[in-house]
A and B are shown apart, each in its own frame.
Chain A
Amino acid sequence: MTDLASEQGTEAARRRPRRWHILVFLAPAVIIYTAVMILPLIETLRQSFFNVVGGEHVFVGFANFATLFGDPRWAADFWNALRNNFVFFLIHMAVQNPIGIALAALLSLPGLRFAAFYRTAFFLPTLLSFVIVGFIWKLILSPIWGVAPWLMDLVGMKALFAPWLGKPGSALVAVSLVSVWQFIGIPMMLIYAALLNIPEEVIEAAEIDGITGWGQFFKIKLPLVLPAIGIISILTFVGNFNAFDLVYTMQGALAGPDKATDILGTFLYRTFFGFQLQLGDQPMGATIATIMFLIILTGVCIYLFGVQRRIRRYQF
């Protein structure tokens, strides 16, 4: 009997480790992800170490990076794009996320009428194509046919209107705010979901202790949704440093006026694909893409190791 049992046991042990279904279930995601994400990424990184010298495609080591940071023109364009990108990101962090949180807090108020309607209305722009958003806002802000100058005229503020998209000083802020308008639904929805997750008991306990209204929001709810705010920040960071489409539709590939709205995405596009008479420069484009990848990687790492581990999570 014991012999038989051990024999059965070893047979089972022999059979069990080969859990093929894991591979089978992983395969679709792994294959697709490798084909459309990992291989192109590796290829881009590889390309940034090559360049065309005398008609030959040769390995040049870090020469492309040396050009990007060493050549005064490339460096000026790159730092300009990076600075603009930081401004773009900071405006999102300073405007989009606080307003998103505030909207979520208002929506989660018990007894709010038409909550579903507001929720949909705030989220709707996020679903629109950036081409439509860019075009609509270009028209709204147009000094010739725009609604904006007319509306401002109605309230006697016409003098404050300016062709914002055409002025180097205001174009980047204007484009950033349009992007904020478009994407405000994402932080709102994530925070809204997090707020709904807070158990009634916690709120009731707070109320019994006499914490209500704003105090309740700042002392109870906000700490509980901090992890969600962390996620939103990192999503905003990645989204902003990959941004391209809205600037391209509103300001064109040259990201005017005077490169005032040029961010890393448009800089990469212009370099890689070329524009008008400018022919595409794939190796330098790949170099810029690599730097963008490293910037985003650094940002995500700082968040993962520096911030996320310190955030306290509460289990209910």
Chain B
Amino acid sequence: MYRTTLQGILLASSILAGVGTAMAADVTLNIESWRNDDLQIWQEKIIPAFEAKHPGIKVTFSPSAPTEYNAALNAKLDAGSAGDLVACRPFDTSLQLFEKGKLEDLTGLEGMKNFSDVAKAAWSTDDGAKTFCVPMASVIHGFIYNKEAFEKVGVEVPKTVDQFFAVLDKIKADGTYIPLAMGTKDMWEAATMAYQNIGPTYWKGEEGRKALIAGTEKLTDEGWVEPFRVLAKWKPYLGDGFEAQTYPDSQNLFTLGRAAIYPAGSWEISPFSSAGLQLGAFPPPVVKEGDTCYISDHNDIAMGLNAASAHKEEAKVFLEWVASPEFASIYSNALPGFFSLNSTPVEITDPLAKEFVSWRETCKPTIRSTYQILSRGTPNLENETWTESANVINGTDTPEVAAKKLQDGLDSWYKPAK
């Protein structure tokens, strides 16, 4: 009995080993990414769709934690152990990798024609001549609100800044809900979800951003200080002890239904939707009724090819597929809130995501002001903006002082091309 069992095991293992070698004949592509939240979606939706059409190429998605991704990827690329395909952060982080020869030049990729220059800007050289990552998605800023809270308090979705504060006053007076779910502990909420969210309305989106890079506008100009003044007025509407409230705290306060409005990025859509609340969204309010609205539609994620990959041909096949409308459709619908940058319009089914993407038709999109070129030196403008945005809301610095600090820091190393 014992002997036959042993033989059976040996037989089974040899068969399994045989299967193993047969599988190894396929090429396996490894994807590096910081989107560990998306692991399931890649495994269940995106990868099977690709593998069904491309027998012989297997794909594995191996993400790492968002905060560790940049450092981990750099180390892996230097050590030669990085995956064949790497998710690209926008602008300088990826540009530096390309200049060091770690990323392959993808300018000649057939599918690149599916993307506009604005979409490619975040992953192209400064002169736009070479592109090194296939744009995947952007994220849009706005405000998500709890419909039930709005009904209970009896307020309408605000369109102008004055209406916005009137709504906040009413919610605060009612007392059931915290008007705004935001904290300043992690600082990036204050900078990204607040300053970069409402800011484009005042600095006129791309116009102001480009003028800042060209040196014709300064951070101490009215258009850049005014958003800080508005932020300073948010303070009374934040929850108790907001100074020590972290980003997950804010998310939890909102999904538990204890807060009415959440200054958001569209990436929150899928986690928030699963909380079972009735949610709506509105774009950053404008100053006067009828003004042009501006939204931050920020290039967020792309995919590049590791220059040291052993399977470049297969990886390019995958990248061509990533550039196709088919991928755009699967990706945008599997991950509501990440909007494809593909020029072919995508039909989105999630109502909240649909609301966000509809602003692209009425509002002028821009990207975050600190990302292109301006965060290249020391002190780093993006990091300083985090600190100062939090300082303004906490009341540590006045809006004028904060703006001056930022401009002084920028002046110390940035000389705009004349």
Instruction: Report if A and B associate in a common complex.
Output: yes
Known: A73-B379, A277-B371. A144 touches B184 (CB 8 A): no
Residue among A74, A145, A256 with most chain B CB within 10 A: A256
- Interface pair B383/A278, CB less than 8 Å apart: yes
Q: How far is the CA of A276 from the CA of B249 in the complex (A)?
A: 21
Which chain B residues lie closer than 8 Å to A273 at the CB level?
71
Q: How far is the CA of A278 from the CA of B387 in the complex (A)?
A: 14
Known: A73-B412, A168-B396. A278 touches B185 (CB 8 A): no
Which chain B residues lie closer than 8 Å to A276 at the CB level?
188, 380, 382-383
Q: How far is the CA of A149 from the CA of B243 in the complex (A)?
A: 15
B240 adjacent to chain A (CB < 8 Å):
yes
Q: How far is the CA of A276 from the CA of B394 in the complex (A)?
A: 22
- Interface pair B382/A166, CB less than 8 Å apart: no
Question: Contact check: which of B241, B249, B252, B390 meets A256 at CB < 8 Å?
Answer: B390
Contact residues of A between 213 and 246, Cβ < 8 Å to B: none
A164 adjacent to chain B (CB < 8 Å):
yes
Residue of B nearest to A253 (CB): B67
Which chain A residues lie closer than 8 Å to B74 at the CB level?
280
Which chain A residues lie closer than 8 Å to B380 at the CB level?
275-278
A selection of 28 A-B contacts at a CB cut-off of 8 Å is A143-B241, A144-B240, A144-B249, A164-B244, A165-B185, A165-B243, A165-B244, A166-B244, A166-B245, A167-B243, A254-B386, A256-B187, A257-B185, A257-B243, A257-B396, A258-B390, A258-B396, A258-B397, A273-B71, A274-B70, A276-B188, A276-B382, A277-B370, A277-B371, A278-B380, A278-B382, A278-B383, A284-B378
B177 adjacent to chain A (CB < 8 Å):
no
Known: A257-B391, A257-B394. A166 touches B243 (CB 8 A): yes
Question: Contact check: which of B71, B187, B244 meets A163 at CB < 8 Å?
Answer: B244
Which chain A residues lie closer than 8 Å to B391 at the CB level?
257-258
Chain A to chain B: the 9 pairs with minimum beta-carbon distance, closest first: A143-B241, A166-B243, A163-B244, A166-B244, A163-B241, A278-B380, A277-B375, A277-B382, A163-B243
Question: Contact check: which of A74, A141, A275, A277 meets B244 at CB < 8 Å?
Answer: A141
Contact residues of A between 268 and 294, Cβ < 8 Å to B: 273-281, 284
Contact residues of A between 72 and 105, Cβ < 8 Å to B: 73-74
A138 adjacent to chain B (CB < 8 Å):
yes
A142 adjacent to chain B (CB < 8 Å):
yes
Q: How far is the CA of A259 from the CA of B388 in the complex (A)?
A: 10
B43 adjacent to chain A (CB < 8 Å):
no
Residue among B239, B243, B394 with most chain A CB within 10 A: B243
A252 adjacent to chain B (CB < 8 Å):
yes
- Interface pair B245/A279, CB less than 8 Å apart: no
Known: A143-B241, A254-B386, A257-B243. A279 touches B92 (CB 8 A): yes
Which chain B residues lie closer than 8 Å to A73 at the CB level?
378-379, 409, 412
Residue of B nearest to A279 (CB): B96
What is the CB-to-nearest-CB distance from B261 to chain A, in angstroms, rounded to a whole number? Answer: 17
Additional A-B contacts beyond A168-B396, A259-B387, A276-B380 (4; CB < 8 A): A144-B241, A274-B70, A276-B382, A277-B380
A162 adjacent to chain B (CB < 8 Å):
yes
What is the CB-to-nearest-CB distance from B389 to chain A, in angstroms, rounded to a whole number? Answer: 11
Q: How far is the CA of A168 from the CA of B188 in the complex (A)?
A: 17
Question: Contact check: which of B91, B245, B375, B386 meets A143 at CB < 8 Å?
Answer: B245
B242 adjacent to chain A (CB < 8 Å):
yes
Contact residues of B between 241 and 278, Cβ < 8 Å to A: 241-246, 249, 252-253
Which chain A residues lie closer than 8 Å to B184 at the CB level?
166, 257
Q: How far is the CA of A73 from the CA of B409 in the complex (A)?
A: 8
What is the CB-to-nearest-CB distance from A122 to chain B, in angstroms, rounded to a whole number? Answer: 27
Known: A73-B412, A168-B396, A257-B390. A275 touches B383 (CB 8 A): yes
Q: How far is the CA of A259 from the CA of B396 in the complex (A)?
A: 12
Residue among B92, B244, B245, B252 with most chain A CB within 10 A: B244
B186 adjacent to chain A (CB < 8 Å):
yes
Which chain B residues lie closer than 8 Å to A257 at the CB level?
184-185, 187, 243, 387, 390-391, 394, 396
- Interface pair A162/B241, CB less than 8 Å apart: yes
Which chain A residues lie closer than 8 Å to B186 at the CB level?
252, 256
Q: How far is the CA of A284 from the CA of B74 in the complex (A)?
A: 19
Residue of A nearest to B381 (CB): A277
What is the CB-to-nearest-CB distance from A162 to chain B, in angstroms, rounded to a whole number? Answer: 7
Residue of A nearest to B89 (CB): A277
Residue of A nearest to B187 (CB): A256
Which chain B residues lie closer than 8 Å to A149 at the CB level?
241
Residue of B nearest to A73 (CB): B379
Query: A146-176: contact bitstring with B at CB < 8 Å (1 yes, 0 no)?
Result: 0001000000000000111111100000000
Q: How far is the CA of A284 from the CA of B377 in the complex (A)?
A: 13
Q: How far is the CA of A145 from the CA of B241 in the complex (A)?
A: 11
Which chain B residues lie closer than 8 Å to A168 at the CB level?
394, 396
Which chain A residues lie closer than 8 Å to B239 at the CB level?
143-144
Q: How far is the CA of A211 from the CA of B215 in the complex (A)?
A: 78
- Interface pair A254/B409, CB less than 8 Å apart: no
Q: How far is the CA of A164 from the CA of B245 in the complex (A)?
A: 11
B93 adjacent to chain A (CB < 8 Å):
yes
Which chain A residues lie closer than 8 Å to B91 at the CB level?
277
